[in-house]
Structure 1
């Protein structure tokens, strides 16, 4: 059995607690971007569930978006009825998630995060998300992602 990094073990434990069977895969090279992750896994970039952390109304907001999309923060704020959404800095990301940019998982955080899940991810029968470090990823379905995060499904671009 592969020994996982501590951050990835927290993600693994959160997956099992949610009844999600996907195993965390340790990649030989960092896959800190959707393009790198897609290349390493041999999947379409759109099947990568990018974890982007923003700040909105003084709180972190996790947006799980398809690797093929950019988040339109103004449109998303309007759809959500929220204030201005802006990208979190590295310190804010680590404080909110316990994880570094490039490896932020949809779970395994110190506390639950308000999460938005890109509706476009539903197009893929299997999606891949970061596993808590830039070297770890795991597979899951769209429905599992929504359930795991308790996220609000929305158009994000």
Structure 2
């Protein structure tokens, strides 16, 4: 068994994923999947099929945006959706505090604090998606509709 599967953040992601569907397996990559491009190269898939889990700081909270690997999140669209003036990328320390994961391994599920989730509709272009599973070398494969169900995410057009 791969020792990465014993790491607490990976176990936490796996537990949340398996509570939803125990047939979904955690894939451990030899190469890092810290960036969407790294993950796409390691998996041999389109970079757009990689789910980027991005944490943003709002005026009074944090939100998680699941974005296609070939897109950029639009801060202006987020501000309009949330009807607020200020949204920014969360500091790495805050990402760790909110989710329990380090940047590069932030899973869409298994966070240590509840966080509102938005899923970019651009991800619907792909039959299968790959998202981080608690570590930069761990991912899982999932379909868009299942990702929406798994995360209870709200579908929004949030990319530039």
Q: The TM-score by the shorter chain falls in which range?
A: over 0.9
Q: Any stretches of 5+ residues in structure 2 without a counterpart?
A: none
Q: Which residue in the other structure is 2:89 paired with?
A: 87
* 4+ residue runs over 3 A deviation: none
What SS does the aligned partner of 2:146 have? helix
Structure 1 CA distance for aligned equivalents of residues 14 and 135 of structure 2: 12
From 96, 102, 112, the counterpart of 1:100: 102
Deviations along 1:122-147, one digit per CA (max 9) or x if unpaired, are 11110000010111111011111111
Q: 1:51-90 maps to which residues of 2 (within 5 A)?
A: 51-90=53-92
Q: Which residue in the other structure is 2:118 paired with?
A: 116
Aligned-residue Cα RMSD (Å) equals 1.3
Structure 1 CA distance for aligned equivalents of residues 44 and 109 of structure 2: 24
| Corresponding position: 1:25 with 2:45 | no
Q: Normalized against structure 2, the TM-score is what?
A: 0.93
Structure 2 CA distance for aligned equivalents of residues 83 and 125 of structure 1: 35
Deviations along 1:40-69, one digit per CA (max 9) or x if unpaired, are 000000000100011112211100000010
Which range moves more in the overlay, 79-88 or 115-124? 79-88
Deviations along 1:20-46, one digit per CA (max 9) or x if unpaired, are 532111111211000000000000000
Q: Any stretches of 5+ residues in structure 1 without a counterpart?
A: none
Structure 1 CA distance for aligned equivalents of residues 155 and 109 of structure 2: 16
Q: Normalized against structure 1, the TM-score is what?
A: 0.95
From 132, 135, 140, the counterpart of 1:133: 135
